[in-house]
Each structure stands twice: as structure tokens, then as C-alpha cells.
């Protein structure tokens, strides 16, 4: 076994113990967008602005945004939200990319990873194409 594999296993265990309760409370209730950055970058700020400008689309699709920085994480889009426990969601990050975003479905599964700023409409179209979302739209008569 390589040292990198062991490190990854340890990070996963820390993630599972430290934060899984936060994420599991969303299963079957909310979709998650986890936006991760190694530093507060222009990409991170731009993505957050795009979502703030289309908050209604997030609400309509039951999307909760987690933003993760080296300081910790916060839930929601407000700039003034206090950062939570420094045991963050960063262990979800699979690459060395300075910016990564993960879409997690209602079932708790990872649906897509993004490595660059993405327009909300592109994410909404992806969500709207999913079977559970299509069922929601039919039920609401859309």
C-alpha cells in the first residue's frame, strides 16, 4: 500500500466522522452543491455571485450550497455567514485544482464534478434532466 493511499483513507475517515451528519441530513430532502477552493479566488467569488443572482433557481430545485475554504465551511450564499467547524468538507476534493464544485443528488450520490465556474442555467438543466427532478416537475404540474 502506498503512503498516498493511506493518507487518502485517513482523510476519508476524518471526513466521514466529522461531517457526514451534516450531509446526511439532506438526503432525500435537498440536492447539494459543494463549492471548494484552496483559497478565496476570483473563480470562487464569481461562482458565488452567479448563484446569489439566481437564488430562486436554487430554491426551486431544492439545492443547498456548501462553500468550503481552508478556514472551514459554511452553508448558504450569504457573505456574512459565520464559518463552521474547521473540520471541513475539503476531503471530498479529488484533484489539486484550486477550484472544484460537486453536485450531489437527493439520493446522496455524486452526479457531476465541475472544475471551472459554471453558469447556474447549465447546472439547472442538468438537474432538470434527472428522473427525480422530472417527477417533481410533473407533480407540480410544470
pTM of model > 0.85: no
The residues spanned by each domain of the chain are 3-139
As separate numbers, helices (DSSP H) first and strands (DSSP E) second, the chain gives 5, 5
How big is the CA angle at 113 (ends 87 and 95), to the nearest 5 degrees? Answer: 60
Least confident stretch, 10-19, 62-71, 84-93: 10-19
> What is the average pLDDT score of the chain?
78
- Alpha-carbon span 111 to 45, nearest angstrom: 23
Q: Tens digit of pLDDT for each residue in 127-140?
A: 999 999 999 889 88
Beta strands in 2-109 (DSSP E): 31-37, 63-69, 72-75, 99-104
Q: What would the pLDDT profile of 67-122 be if each residue is shown by its tens digit?
A: 887 777 788 887 656 566 545 455 666 667 788 999 999 998 999 999 999 999 99
Q: 66 has which bridge partners?
A: 34, 75
- Could you tell me the CATH superfamily of domain 3-139? Glutaredoxin (3.40.30.10)
| Arithmetic mean of pLDDT, 20-45 | 83
b vs e for 26-57, b when ≥16 Cβ sit within 10 Å of the residue's Cβ? beeebbbbbbbbbeeeebbeebbeebeebeeb
Planar angle of CA 58, 108, 129, nearest 5 degrees: 50
Orientation of helix 42-53 relative to helix 120-128, angle to 10°: 60
Amino acid at each position: 500500500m502506498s503512503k498516498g493511499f493511506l493518507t487518502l483513507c485517513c482523510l476519508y475517515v476524518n471526513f466521514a466522522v466529522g461531517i457526514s451528519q451534516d450531509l446526511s441530513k439532506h438526503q432525500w430532502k435537498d440536492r447539494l452543491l459543494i463549492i471548494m477552493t484552496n483559497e478565496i479566488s476570483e473563480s470562487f467569488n464569481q461562482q458565488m455571485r452567479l448563484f446569489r443572482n439566481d437564488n430562486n433557481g436554487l430554491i426551486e430545485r431544492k439545492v443547498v450550497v456548501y462553500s468550503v475554504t481552508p478556514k472551514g465551511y459554511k452553508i448558504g450564499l450569504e457573505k456574512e455567514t459565520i464559518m463552521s467547524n474547521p473540520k471541513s468538507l475539503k476531503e471530498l476534493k479529488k484533484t489539486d485544482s484550486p477550484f472544484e464544485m460537486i453536485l450531489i443528488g437527493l439520493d446522496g450520490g455524486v452526479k457531476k464534478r465541475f472544475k471551472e465556474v459554471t453558469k447556474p442555467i447549465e447546472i439547472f438543466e442538468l438537474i432538470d434532466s434527472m428522473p427525480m427532478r422530472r417527477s417533481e416537475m410533473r407533480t407540480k404540474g410544470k
